[in-house]
Amino acid sequence: MATKTIFEKSVKNRKGYTLPKCKIDNEVKKIFPANLLRSDAPRIPEVSELDTVRHYIELSDKNHFIEKGFYPLGSCTMKYNPKINDIVNVLTGFTDIHPMQPEDTIQGALQVMYELQQDLAEISGMRALSLQPVAGAHGEFTGVNIIYNYHKNKGRHRTKIIMPDSSHGTNPATSALHGMEVIEIKSNDDGKVDIKAVEEVLSDDIAGFMLTNPNTLGVFETDVQEIAELIHSVDGLMYMDGANLNAMLGYLRPGNMGFDIVHFNLHKTFSTPHGGGGPGAGGIGVSEKLVEYLPIPVVRKKEYVYYLDYDVKHSIGKVHSYFGNFLVMLRAYIYLKMLGDIGLKRVAENAVINSNYLMAKLRSEYPVPYQKNIMHEFVACGEKFKEYGVRTLDIAKRLLDYGFHAPTIYFPLIVHEALMIEPTETESKETLDNFAQVMLKIAKEAKDNSQLLKDAPQNTPVTRLDETNAIKNLNIKYNFEA
């Protein structure tokens, strides 16, 4: 049964809350211009407090969220986040401060940012950090800005950025947005960067190389140090997209691989409820030679006092108001302190074990083109189901009927009918077994009764939508007449 709107549940004269009588009713016409005043009362639903609460709980339950079910969304690390991080996050000592307060009154907040910077520097092998960027793509843009200004300061105009065909879409987007020319190179048969292809495009015009490691196929780039040597031979810079950092925590450091810049998705690797448009945090770490290019202000410490340093020689300036999304940083800080070095290693171990376990369970029915050096996620191929008139989209929709969110589909583009699956480090073996069982059941349904998949989903608030038409003909108007 379709859920009624809050207006359809309205009953005349029913009240949920009574507001005190406005003391300036007679003065309103004097205060506001006539063209801003209503001539009739607003249409507000008349419902009790209990009915209001039940209505919105019912709506919330129709959404999918991590506490409700498995969320194997590839490259997004949609994992469970400990509630202790959110509890601390709402303490008034953190929420009631203002960034324009004098530094001596926000020492606690500055200490959190400073220590988080130090922890992330240790984890990544970077020399210094800025926590200002507020998203992964924003961190990328900031990093590309640093690359551009590094070369500009050396008196040269370099605008070419190399990246593999498996890169996240934000990599070429942020580079192009900064006026860079993107040079895409093909992956080899193992799903890694083709070294020969890098050598062929290498020149004194190269500003840098953007690489995700592990890459978007879930494959670890074992030749990363050789790539770094090639790029550094022309004084280019190595940038690491840190989207998949959870696969390496405590075991591998980007700085030791030859990277000069790395961005951190604090909102997914280090605990913040992910999705819903934010908030995010995409702080960046840099090597020694790039410290003076970081955005200002930089949080520093002198003896026992924390302060903001605006005197950074080659700084690219501010990239966000104030210091970035502070409460996301706070969650990440708590997460790191709770886990410690041993806990971080377990994050990486579980991420890799879960991914490889699930891949082994599914690859008999869902071929995985790239299986060497798989880390935290893998990309399966649903192309064989076209024989039965079934596409990857149909498989994803059918999963919704079984209470699972669908994985990322049709990305990366180098795998046809791609299913990009990341089980994350927080899921149990029982959950993975259940998901695998359902995926295998769907594979059988595709062969025996493909119409089931084409009609899916059936157990959701709405069934298959005409998504293309909805985008082209957006109509959110609703008739609120009684």
pLDDT in tens, 287-306: 999 999 999 999 999 999 99
Q: Are residues 267 and 175 in the same domain?
A: yes
Task: Indicate the residue among 339, 361, 392 that finishes a domain.
Answer: 339
Instruction: Please state whether the peptide bond connecting residue 457 to the residue before it is cis, i.e. omega within 30 degrees of 0.
Output: yes
> Residue 359 domain-assigned?
yes
Which of 297, 245, 250, 299 lies closest to 271 in space, CA to CA?
Answer: 245
| Rounded Cα distance, 459 and 437, in Å | 19
Residue that the structure tokens 């955005």 belong to: 295
Q: What CA–CA distances, in Å, run from 187 to 152, 194, 232, 314, 373?
A: 31, 5, 21, 36, 15
Looking at residue 1, its pLDDT comes to 60
Cβ contacts of 479 within 8 Å, gap of 6 or more = none
Same domain flag for 123 and 3 = no
Q: Say if 454 falls within a structural domain.
A: yes
Kindly state whether residues 464 and 354 are assigned to the same domain.
yes
The strand pairing partners of 73, in sequence order, are 421
- Model confidence over 306-319: pLDDT tens digits? 999 999 999 999 99
How high is the pLDDT of residue 482?
Answer: 43
Contact 382, 365 (CB under 8 A): no
Report the C-alpha gap between 327 and 180 in whole angstroms.
33
Say if 284 falls within a structural domain. yes
Q: In sequence order, which residues have a C-beta less than 8 Å from that of residue 388 and are 6 or more positions away? A: 446, 447, 450
Q: CATH no. for residue 172?
A: 3.40.640.10
Residues 331 and 346 in one domain: no
Judge if 393 and 365 occupy the same domain: yes
Question: Considering the domain boundaries, does residue 418 fall inside one?
Answer: yes
Q: What is the pLDDT of residue 478?
A: 52
What is the predicted pLDDT for the residue at 204?
94
Cα gap 175→182, rounded to integer Å: 7
Residue 346 lies in a domain: yes
> What are the residue ranges in the chain where pLDDT is below 50?
480, 482
Give, as one character, the DSSP assignment of residue 299. E
Expressed as residue numbers, the domain containing 353 is 342-470
pLDDT score at 480: 46
Six-digit token pair at 207?
């500003």
What tokens appear for 225 in the block?
């140090």
Residues 312 and 349 reside in one and the same domain: no
Flag whether 428 is in a domain: yes
Q: How many CA atoms lie within 13 A of 44 on its CB side?
A: 12
Quick check: is 183 in a domain? yes
Do residues 184 and 260 share a domain? yes
Domains in the chain: how many in total? 3
Q: Do residues 211 and 200 both lie within one domain?
A: yes
Same domain for 322 and 452, yes or no, is no
Quick one: 232 and 94 in the same domain?
A: yes
Q: What is the pLDDT of residue 476?
A: 62
Q: Bridge partners of 309?
A: 298
pLDDT (0 to 100) of residue 479: 52
pTM score? 0.90
Domain boundary among 319, 339, 359: 339
Give kind and range of the element (H or E) at residue 23: none
Q: Is 380 found in the same domain as 258?
A: no
Cα 443 to chain centroid distance, Å, stands at 29
In this prediction, residue 41 carries a pLDDT of 83
Per-residue pLDDT tens for 382-405?
A: 999 999 999 999 999 999 999 999
Tell me which of 317, 339, 361 is where a domain ends: 339
What CATH number does the domain containing 430 carry? 3.90.1150.10
124 close to 254: Cβ distance less than 8 angstroms: yes
pLDDT of residue 24: 76
Q: Does one domain contain both 188 and 301? A: yes
Q: Quote the CA–CA distance of 39 and 36 in Å, as a whole number.
A: 10
In a domain, 74, yes or no: no
Task: Classify residue 90 as left (phi > 0), alpha (psi -120 to 50) or beta.
Answer: alpha
| CA distances (Å), origin 463, targets 394, 439, 476 | 12, 20, 18
